[in-house]
Structure 1
């Protein structure tokens, strides 16, 4: 999917990734050994170091073939994170979303909420889908709270399925139906 124009939220702008964005994007993802964002973004999944050339080549291939399902989150003229969608089951129109804010100074200041609201609006406007899902882990209380604030409901919980630093966490699936979203937007 390629957006025709940037999406503007109250605090953020969501936009396509271009080749010119790749140095800054690589830097905020890979240039710090133990970044703060890793504590919240599926910290039980290993982030493998990647040199810039490999990152550049992989991302450029996705961009050129319009296969990339990731989009930039920008605020104050800098890249602060990534928002994405993925088909859980495309023929059933089952879509999942996720986001990562890489710059810690933008956490807990409304940027995640504005990003998700803008993104969910866009996806419901552009895809004939009945619901949008968001899956996270029980240690990410901030994202769970944001999802619920957007009107998402807990649809499922897989108990003790994520091991992080010697402790088990649940996998939590949230979701919102199109009619719930539309009703909420009219209030």
Structure 2
């Protein structure tokens, strides 16, 4: 069933995030900004932000107030500015300005949890170390009967058992888009869903 899910969704959605980025570091910044915020708003903000700040060194040396000025249209911009400056400083001091390529190291960065680390690893480096389970992935996985867990970390463990490892990142990207546009929390568009005949929740 999982193989069919991936194959069908690939025909409908691109295997990528809707966040705009051109380097692994830009993706880290965009992911921090995307917490409880729409990707479209983040993309609007990063368009100017990445013209002014291009490297971890740029952010690490900047005043917090200047970073805030560029991102004040997103939710919780003050806390996010702190995270970005701290992350940048750590990358400069500990990783020679490079984004680390392991789940453990990424998860230890301020404002980056396991979900975000998985997202960055796959979309920046093509590395499958886990499955990024956000609210969309959790909801769609539950509706498809792939997990009954309510907590993302536990749902991830269920999914890692049934989804082939080479598809972990792709599976997450595709389910995020399905959940965002078709399998929505309220009034899911059942008859537009490419998984309709496979879904045990289609009559709910």
Give the alignment's TM-score, normalised by structure 1: 0.29
Task: Choose between structure 1 and 2: higher helix proportion.
Answer: 2
Which of 1 and 2 has higher RCO (CA within 8 Å, sep 6+)?
2
The alignment's TM-score, normalised by the length of structure 2, stands at 0.28
From the CA coordinates, give the structure whose radius of gyration is larger: 2
The structure whose residues are more often strand, as a share, is 1
